[in-house]
Amino acid sequence: SRQRYVLGDTAMQKMAQSHVFLSGIGGLGVEIAKNIVLAGVKALTVHDTKQCTKWDLGINFFIHEDDITGQRNRAEATLHRIAELNPYVHVAASTVPLDETTDLSFLKQYQCVILTEVSLLLQKKINDFCHAQQPPIKFISADVYGICSRLFCDLGDEFEVLDTTGEEPKEIFISNITQSNPGIVTCLENHPHRLETGQFLTFREINGMSCLNGSTHQITVVSPYSFSIGDTSDMEPYLHGGIAVQVKTPKIFYFERLEKQITNPLCLVADFSKPEAPLQIHVAMLALNHFQENFGRRPNIGCLQDAEEMLKIAMSISETLENKPQVNGDVVKWLSRTAQGFLAPLAAAVGGFASQEVLKAVTGKFSPLQQWLYIDMLDIVTPLEKMESEEFLPRGDRYDALRACIGDSLCQKLHDLNVFLVGCGAIGCEMLKNLALLGVGTGQDKGLVTITDPDLIEKSNLNRQFLFRPHHIQKPKSYTAAEATLNINPYLKIDSYINKVCPATENTYSDEFYTKQDVIVTALDNVEARRYIDSRCVANLRPLIDSGTMGTKGHTEVIVPHLTESYNSHRDPPEEEIPFCTLKSFPAAIEHTIQWARDKFESSFSHKPSLFNKFWQTYLSAEEVLQRIKSGESLEGCFHVIKTLSRRPRSWTQCVELARVKFEKYFSHKALQLLHSFPLDTRLKDGSLFWQSPKRPPFPVKFEFNDPLHYDFIVSAAKLFATVYCVPFTEKDLSEEAILKIISAVKVPDFRPSNKVVQTDETARKPDHIPVSSEDERNAIFQLEKSILSNEALENDLQMKPISFEKDDDSNGHIDFITAASNLRAKMYNIEPADRFKTKRIAGKIIPAIATATAAVSGLVALELIKVVGGYPADAYKNCFLNLAIPIMVFTETAEVRRTEIRNGISFTIWDRWTIYGKEDFTLLDFINAVREKYGIEPTMVVQGVKMLYVPVMPGHIKRLKLTMQKLVKPSADKKYVDLTVSFAPETDGEEDLPGPPVRYYFVQEDN
């Protein structure tokens, strides 16, 4: 379901009818196979003619040691493991030779052909064949050689894409349209349109210039808040209102064959600091292909002669290309040195990208790659220069492919590494696979991978969390992921926990725990957790690599002590909250009605029942409560609790009646009340109409039993009321006849207008407490007496069953209620309704997800991990932002850490921490003096977390100077130190205090 939100149903259906052929099940082929089987094509044929070798264990996560001893073919060995990922995909293996003499007509049964580990000559031959078919067979080739990778796409002469970005069509509220040529459309203030020139819009609900309604116009952007639409000078003058909706238009993409593209390549530039790099790698990789054709092998590891030969070939190839690009000798040399090797994380990155291109090829959804992508790891070569060539030679183990790229010393550092991976969801699973292939945490004496995740496996996880299978549902993610990772590399040492990493678990994840870790990797889905872990990494000077995805978008960020800024150094703008008055009375978009319905669910079925239970746990009987309120006591929440008790439904019939009454209240009386408070002709002080865009006047909805939406609301609400009030019901109770019989007898109260003030201020927040009048209190006494007399305040009556919202269980009726309630409110305000699927995404705050982006992001994280372990300088690290839909991949250098000046040449960064060692009778004054003596500046303020220990202007704080630090801080018995924040007097009075670094105060001198 998470992938449906990325691709949409049409693309999912096209994908489920497509047949794909993939040749080469090495480290890259298996990545692509995994991703497209998880996505759900109809059938995949995996083709390979090679036998499993020890080498494959370090690059192919589906090849195990017994496949080598059994001398299995790679396609046959991995077949059932690939097929197991998705029971709906038919996976077949082929082991017949594919070479220059093969009759290619067997490829006609496929919509897409993917080649890896195929010679360039054969790639050209197969590409020509695919391109010539009608319709053309989509052709993709990809390769990883050492520290370089390439991807090529040819989807035929013309390839039509129906949706180039996958973004939701934008809806723009209009505030004005000029009568001019061209007509200028202005949006509501503070709401930029974010459109681009050339896009198409259609209009609706315009008052005045109504001939625009239903028409489509191509726009030209004038400013962030306005755009032009062509001649409006002869139209009626614009009065008010109107919404412009973006129209998605198909786009044709044009492709050339491989043969032609080789000489004049169209490349995606991923690193704008090196725009020349793609062409340089293009030439180097062509030289490598020619070397293989000439000598029947790849260049030998560290062989200078082979590197020289390859350089000569590169020079002559460059002359044959249209732009005659300059040959970069270093790129050619390093490609030659590492060409026999294989970097598994690089295959994960390019494999994720390539898999998304396959999905585009078979669905026509998103913009395809035109036509080459090169991703490299050339950032790592500088220190490798100094190593002896023996470092890179094979040792006959599973890490030979990795060793050929990074040398044995760096391999050993990876083996001895302690890594803390937080989260075992989609990125977590992919990350564990990468760690296993790199041999992280497999050292004989050192090295450990620690993982934690509090969640259980859900069915909706299976489309991208590839270590999990259907029989794992409802098992803990971390334990299951650990077990599955040992299948990839049985030598991995792994500790798994099921804790959340948060302040409450600091006993487990203490400073001591962090200090033992060499690097922390986060695989989280929320900003709050990232911020917290970042702060722990900064406090303990630990490197952190963070990443995340949302649909086809992804990011990676590297945080290295003393070199880079931290995650908390930059803040995303907070999510815009919907104003309270918009939710309560003036919705303008379907998101508003969905949030309203979600809030109604929360208050009726979770919040109120919880308060009810809490009240009756505090006061044990109704008689006691009656006695106390009669004697004038004010019991918090008592009025609402008694109201709930007196109206409590006690049968299925009463639950249905309650749902029917709520229908009238929410969807009829509410509209009548608003129109009573603000009749349609109401005008504001400036003479403009009250009811104009974005405010929409409501119209009461008349209940119709035969309207499916009305019926759905009644049934879903009644079922939820029955659940919270512990009322049993049967299948027979849910029949239409039974419901109709109850509904027909319901006496619905008439509408009585009230003089309640309706909130119209958009900045006003929801009130915490609504005051209770004395009449309400008298009423409460009367109602409670009545309940006690009629034996309706017994122990069972004083309990309710609160419901926790669960979006993924379709049988519980939660999304049914929210969909019906939201769409009825939308109908009342004349807002376009949303189907159940969209409602579920918005109400459940579901993050769309797909395996392709997850795989690409985690591959990039693992590449940065290698640099962190190698202790690389700041300019080697790269952050990445990618969007596989457009497609873009942008690498940027990490932000250099900022140095804050205090004064007199004293400065600090976020990574600095001052330390002061005290003793038992050390006072606050001693502490302040110690800071001055050691660091040359006297603190004027001392704070511990949110507790102000010493602020001179606060009453009584001067006296604190004589108190001991022990008494002020009150440490727990096992605490050896406390982290304090200090600040310093400004240079001139009236300015802000100057911030300082954290100061770690040790209660006693540490034993060295």
Q: Which residues are catalytic?
A: 581
Q: Whole-angstrom Cα distance, residue 588 to residue 592?
A: 7
904-912 CB contacts, 8 Å cutoff, 24+ apart:
904/936, 904/937, 906/935, 906/936, 906/937, 908/996, 908/997, 909/562, 909/997, 910/538, 910/565, 910/566, 910/569, 910/997, 911/538, 911/541, 911/561, 911/562, 912/997
Whats the size of the chain, residue-wise? 1008
The burial class, CB within 10 Å (0-12 / 13-18 / 19+), for 864 is buried
C-beta atoms surrounding 265 within 10 Å: 22
Q: Whole-angstrom Cα distance, residue 408 to residue 416?
A: 12
Q: 3-class DSSP state for residue 729?
A: coil
200-207 and 240-247: which strand pairing?
A: antiparallel
Element (H, E) at 216: strand 216-218
């490798």: which residue's tokens?
A: 384
Helix axes 27-39, 74-83, angle to 10 degrees: 30
User: Is the separation of the CB atoms in 364 and 14 below 8 Å?
Assistant: yes
Q: Whole-angstrom Cα distance, residue 48 to residue 32?
A: 14
CA-CA-CA-CA dihedral for 437, 440, 442, 444, to nearest 10: 140
Q: Six-digit token pair at 158? A: 């013309």
- Say which DSSP state 605 is in: I
Those residues whose C-beta lies under 8 Å from the C-beta of residue 704, and which sit 6 or more positions away, are 710
| C-alpha neighbours within 13 Å on the C-beta side of residue 973 | 0
Those residues whose C-beta lies under 8 Å from the C-beta of residue 405, and which sit 6 or more positions away, are 146, 147, 338, 341, 342, 343, 377, 392
Q: 3-class DSSP state for residue 845?
A: coil
CA-closest candidate to residue 714, choices 766, 666, 670, 767: 666
Q: Whole-angstrom Cα distance, residue 129 to residue 1003?
A: 77
CA-CA-CA-CA dihedral for 831, 837, 838, 839, to nearest 10: 70
Q: Which residues pair with 512 in a beta bridge?
A: none
Between the two ends of the chain, the Cα-to-Cα distance in Å is: 57
Q: Which residues pair with 373 in a beta bridge?
A: 151, 268
Element (H, E) at 173: strand 171-177
